[in-house]
Amino acid sequence: MKRNYYILVLFFISLVMNSCTKDFEQLNTDPTKGSSIAPGQQLASAAYFMTGGRETGYPNLYLLLPRVQYVNGAWGMRSGTKYIRNDFYNDRIWEIYYGKCIKQLTDMIARCKDDQDLVNYIAAGRILKVYLFSILTDCYGDIPYSQAGVAYYQKVYTPAYDRQQDIYHDFFKELDEAVKQFDASKQAIANDIVYNGAIDKWKKLANSLRLRLAVRITNIDPATAAQEAAAAYKGGVMQSNDDNFRMVHEAFNFPDLRGNGLSQSLSEADTYKYTIGCTTFTDYLKSEQDPRLAAFFVNKDADGNDITALTNYFAIQPGLYWWDQWADFVAKDGTVIPHGSKFCTINPVFVSLGASFLHMGYAETELLLAEAATRNWITEDANAHYQRGIRAAMKQLEMYPGMAPINQQQADAYVNAHVLTPGKAIEQINMQKWVALFPNGAEAFANQRRSGFPVLQSVQDVGAESETNKQPFKRLFYPGTEAYNNTANYQDALSRIGGQNDWLKPVWWDKQ
């Protein structure tokens, strides 16, 4: 209850501190108006805003999850499955991360920098900043980075867009320095809703994130990728699901940021009823006889009875709305199932407002190590890491309230049946990573572009609505407000991608 009280206070303070997110001058108003805010409260505020509150769920649900062909069917998912521009969904990551998260962290670090007793706050803040900026740059490309969030301190109201290549190099430096900066003899991190003040877990997160970012640049800068991956592994990465970087949310609905944003957006207008398994995803799970299929999706009739034995998780093709296949389903035994009940939909556990959100976990880390070992960046058994990653991915599903654990015998059989095959290891690893990441659309979007897996199915475009001729978008649009409020730097960034705010232009590392 005490924690809830602090978070409520934090929420209202944040509302007062944060002004309109439409320009950087307003974003960086005098932070001394909230001079009594403790660093732990600012750290917690930044962390909660990453996935708390309905608007944080919109880009994940409507753009990114459909883009990587996990789900589609709902009308709003046209943006991610048919590639139809929606500026509101597109801008949410930019507006929230810059306006709510990065502003808080930049201010917190500036407040703490002259107090050596607060170095642990600074180190944790640097790690969270890298994580936030990595999502921003992976989604948008070149972005304001070195000058972002410092208008009050440096009077820079129109920040330059740093090149993604330079941003990545600074990521590695920041993570390395943050790990070394932690000092157990100094003040512990209070109100730490990420790791409850556990410095060793923050260090593992930093190294695991460093590993993720190293693998990300495999195709564009393999030498640096190998070097950084080896350094991250040597530094110490996640060792179990206890090290997972997850936000533990509480059962609060909009507008409360303590509730899971994805769950809040799924709950809006009962969107979960039309969040249908995409055939790309369900077909793969079926072909692999993956027991997680039942963890991701359910199929029930109008009375709530389980009918998966009849439908076998009947899914929808990418690009289609739930009404496009307007016909009843006839099961093998002749049972007729009305159109409204025939599709498999997202498991209600993901709709729970108190559901946690996994930003990065042990399962992903093990699969990253499997790829690093396959590429001979580290001297390890790639298959051992691969199988540990699969097992951890099954286990991590238990973090969702009400999720039935994967049967141990099924898990053992599945893991034992999945062994890396020479020449296909990279594909196998990244397909399993795709499964393990659900429902983290941002990371799945980045990894699909980097690895090429999964190979996306062709989009079915009834009505010829696609604005890209059915070509998957490769980045998000820069928000339109940037054209007016940061014109010169915005135009400079566009000049590097052909002069247009084009979502078909790849980001720097996207070179398959």
Per-residue confidence (pLDDT) for residue 154, from 0 to 100? 79
Whole-angstrom Cα distance, residue 30 to residue 33? Answer: 6
Residue 502 makes CB contacts below 8 A (sequence gap 6+) with none
Is residue 346 classed as helix, strand or coil in its secondary structure?
strand
Closest residue by Cα to residue 77 from 92, 66, 91, 90: 66
Using alpha carbons, select from 83, 137, 213 the residue that is nearest to residue 503: 83
Q: Would the pTM count as exceeding 0.75? A: yes
Give the closest residue to 154 by CA, choosing from 25, 18, 22.
25
**Amino acid identity for residue 102 in this structure:** I
2-243 CATH = 1.25.40.390
Neighbours of 227 (CB within 10 A): 14
Output the six-digit token pair for 161. Answer: 């867009």
Task: Report the candidate in 457, 456, 459 with the shortest Cα–Cα distance to residue 467.
Answer: 459
Q: CB-side exposure of 99: number of CA atoms within 13 Å?
A: 18
pLDDT on residue 149: 87
Q: Are strands 276-277 and 297-298 parallel, antiparallel or unpaired?
A: unpaired
**C-alpha closest to that of 194 among 64, 52, 59:** 52
CA distance 394 to 241: 11
Candidates 226, 329, 208, 344; CA nearest to 276 is 344
402 within 8 A of 263, measured Cβ to Cβ: no
Residues in the chain predicted with pLDDT less than 50, given as ranges, are 1-34
For residue 365, give the H/E element and its range. Answer: helix 362-374
Query: How many angstroms separate the CA atoms of 209 and 215, rounded?
Result: 10
Instruction: Give the residue carrying structure tokens 């509302």.
Output: 15
Residue for token pair 């049967």: 407
pLDDT at 255: 83
Provide the residue ranges of all domains of the chain, joining segments of one domain with +: 2-243
CA distance 245 to 51: 12
Instruction: Kindly state the tokens that stand for 73.
Output: 């069917």
Q: Helices marked H in 155-219 — which ranges?
A: 164-181, 199-216
Q: Locate tokens 């390890």: which residue?
A: 380
